[in-house]
A and B are shown apart, each in its own frame.
Chain A
Amino acid sequence: MKITRFDKLFGGRNGVLLGLAVAFILILALVPLFASGFWMRTLTMIFLLAAMAEGWNYIGGYTGYAAFGNVAFFGVGAYGTALAMLRLHFPFFLAMVVGVLAAMAFAVIIGLPVLRLKGHYFAIATVALATAMGELADFWTSFTGGAAGLTLPFFNPLKWSNQFFYYISLLLVVFGLWLTYFLMNRKLGYSWVAVRENEDAARMMGINTTWSKVTAFALSAMMAGAAGAIYGYWSTFVLAEEVFKIDYTLQMILATVLGGPGTIFGPFIGSFIYYILITLLVFFFHVGEFHETILGTIIILVMVFTPQGIMDFLSGKKKLTISSLLENIRMHRV
């Protein structure tokens, strides 16, 4: 079964859509030449979300483990980077490596025991660990600064700050896309899908499922950790209740599910759709108060009508009709 050759990737419309994707990324690379600060910041947020979503896609989309605590990696990445910059006086890029490695190490340490759990138990254990990490970061004042948070220096020179964070986030997203494509044509990527489809059968076929799951978890931690590192330096302030907020986990899952879990471009496209939808609603229709109600309603609608994401519609595999939207209900109702 070839999973991610480009012909599979986009169904019958591969060439056109791949061209569109490349053109889209090139346009994104040129955006800072004419866009305002507001749109650059919005796009930077979308890129960071997309990077996290691409990471979540490894464990949640391809490997099929409903990880609900990926914000922990975002937080560990942010704190690792901030602490390396403040305590060890590392330059940002070196500090980012520290943060990302810390997030990956954390993923391996908790992944080895927790990835033995299945279904609901795995989901809640990851929620619990992320919550506990947030509380620990808040409590351990001597190391993390506690409730006062950590204040980082501004990017220097300040006038290039927007551009710097824009491009580094874009680079992270493109790296994530490349990594997904690369892995999905390697043994490791195939083993993830095998674990998702049938873990026992995968083990029987000689796949080291523990290794496979832990690498998926660690690589998703790498993406979230890198996003956290960038986010921390960008906002120049790292605080436990901000960087361990469960909203981030929800957003990365929603972006992935909206786009299409287990596809290369799904999380990327989903992040755009999600974020632009929210931004439009909040800024142009003045429903800021009801922000979360809207987020929740979108999740409910997606879960009821298109839990496989919109990639199937974009690729032409499914036609967008009322009947295809009701298919999920027909299959899963009682």
Chain B
Amino acid sequence: MNYEIGQGVVNALLLTGTLTLVAIGFSIVWGILNIINIAHGAFIMLGAYVTYWLFTLYGVDPFLSIPISMALMFILGYVIQRYLINLVIRAPLLVTFLLTFALEIVIINLATVFWKGDFRSVTTSYSGAGFAIGHVQVPYVRLAAFVISLLITGLLHVFMTYTRQGNAIRATGMDVDAARLQGVKIAHTYALTFALGAALAGAAGSLISVSFPISPTMGGEYTLRAFVICVLGGLGSIPGVLAGALVFAFIEVFSGVYAPGLKEAIALFVMVLVLIVRPSGIAGKAFYH
């Protein structure tokens, strides 16, 4: 029993890293563009497949393929935002919501047709390896995924806080008109923000593919997780996302141990509860806007 709890704690901590990366792109897009990007999970799926194909066809190490999948998703995200979502971005919520919903459907359908619906996995020579603390197992790939996630999150923080472009993004999130008056190109900044969100989703997908089986429909649950994490942690701050991911990882791992069939239902129920009791999230105030 104690062993189970110890393993659960380690699993939850390791999961926190990946989940942070899953949620952070979603959080930025929501915070700056006020769009719930339902297609976020589909971007994660595409990122996972980039890693899978590079590994299977060319033998590229999954961790080395992260920059490639980020770059590809960045381009895709930029194009989608610049030439599609930007057209209707100021329309009522239902419009952008349905638009990204439709994008998700299209991406998943095309992926299913061209890559078939079966589960695949990236199995490297070091996939099963790990070390043990007492009875608690720590696989190397998950530890690496944890470290890389936190590294990327840190880099994002630096980018948003210390670079001119990052400041432009945050300014746009705070007040579009004021940002425009300061010379920020809004259409470009929006596209850049969405592209950044997609690139982060791509990185998350690459990391997920080394630890979990992937399939074209894998994305939906990650979109929901990203949303729950944003709600738990409060919208629009990087530490908030970390806190949300931590809480969520513990809920998920331990409900997985004690009530496996209801894993999702419990997490969603907690989210609805948090929404009702404290709509601004556990960590509180919004930061991007």
Contact = CB atoms under 8 A, between A and B. Distances in A.
Interface of A: 60, 66, 68, 113-114, 116-117, 119-121, 123-125, 127-129, 131-132, 135-136, 138-139, 250, 253-254, 257, 289-293, 295-297, 299-300, 303-304, 307, 328-329, 331-334
A334 B89 contact: yes
A300 B262 contact: no
Contacts of B276: 113-114, 116-117
B190 interface: yes
Contacts of A331: 90-91
B271 A128 contact: yes
B99 interface: yes
A-B pairs, 9 with minimum CB distance: A299-B102, A296-B106, A292-B109, A296-B105, A139-B261, A128-B268, A332-B91, A296-B102, A132-B265
B272 A300 contact: no
29 contacts: A66-B97, A68-B97, A116-B276, A117-B275, A120-B34, A121-B275, A125-B275, A127-B224, A131-B224, A132-B264, A132-B265, A132-B268, A135-B262, A135-B264, A257-B94, A290-B113, A293-B106, A293-B109, A293-B110, A293-B113, A296-B104, A300-B99, A307-B94, A329-B88, A332-B89, A332-B90, A333-B87, A334-B186, A334-B190
B147 interface: no
Given A291-B109, A333-B87, A129 B99 contact: no
B274 to A, nearest CB: 10
Contacts of A250: 101, 105
B265 A304 contact: no
A257 B101 CA distance: 14
Contacts of B88: 303-304, 307, 328-329, 332-333
B64 interface: no
Contacts of B155: none
B112 to A, nearest CB: 8
Given A129-B268, A129-B272, A334 B262 contact: no
B98 A303 contact: yes
B257 interface: no
Nearest to A136: B265
Contacts of B90: 331-334
Contacts of A332: 87-91, 95
Contacts of B87: 304, 329, 332-333
Interface residues of B, number: 46
Interface string B96-121: 01110111111011100100000000
Contact of B98 (A114, A293, A299): A299
A58 to B, nearest CB: 15
A333 B279 CA distance: 29
Q: Is the interface of B mostly helix, strand, loop or mixed?
A: helix
A123 B97 contact: yes
Contacts of B268: 128-129, 131-132
A289 B110 CA distance: 9
B248 to A, nearest CB: 13
A289 B103 CA distance: 17
A121 B234 CA distance: 12
Given A293-B106, A334-B90, A125 B95 contact: no
Given A124-B231, A250-B101, A334-B176, 19 more contacts: A66-B97, A114-B272, A116-B276, A117-B275, A119-B93, A123-B36, A125-B272, A135-B262, A257-B94, A293-B105, A293-B110, A304-B99, A307-B88, A307-B91, A307-B95, A328-B88, A329-B88, A333-B87, A334-B190
Contact of B86 (A135, A297, A300, A334): A334
Contacts of A131: 224, 264-265, 268
Contacts of B102: 295-297, 299-300, 303
Given A292-B105, A293-B106, A303-B99, A334 B272 contact: no
B93 A297 contact: no
A180 B71 CA distance: 51
A256 B282 CA distance: 36
A68 B227 CA distance: 14
A266 B252 CA distance: 42
Contacts of A299: 98-99, 101-102, 105
B89 A300 contact: no
Contacts of A139: 261-262, 265
Interface in B214-235: 224, 227-228, 231
Nearest to A122: B275
Contacts of B108: 292
A123 B36 CA distance: 10
A138 B261 contact: yes
A137 to B, nearest CB: 10
B78 interface: no
A295 B105 contact: yes
Contacts of A329: 87-88
A250 B98 CA distance: 8
Contacts of B187: 334
A254 to B, nearest CB: 8
Contacts of B84: 300, 304
Interface string B191-214: 000000000000000000000000
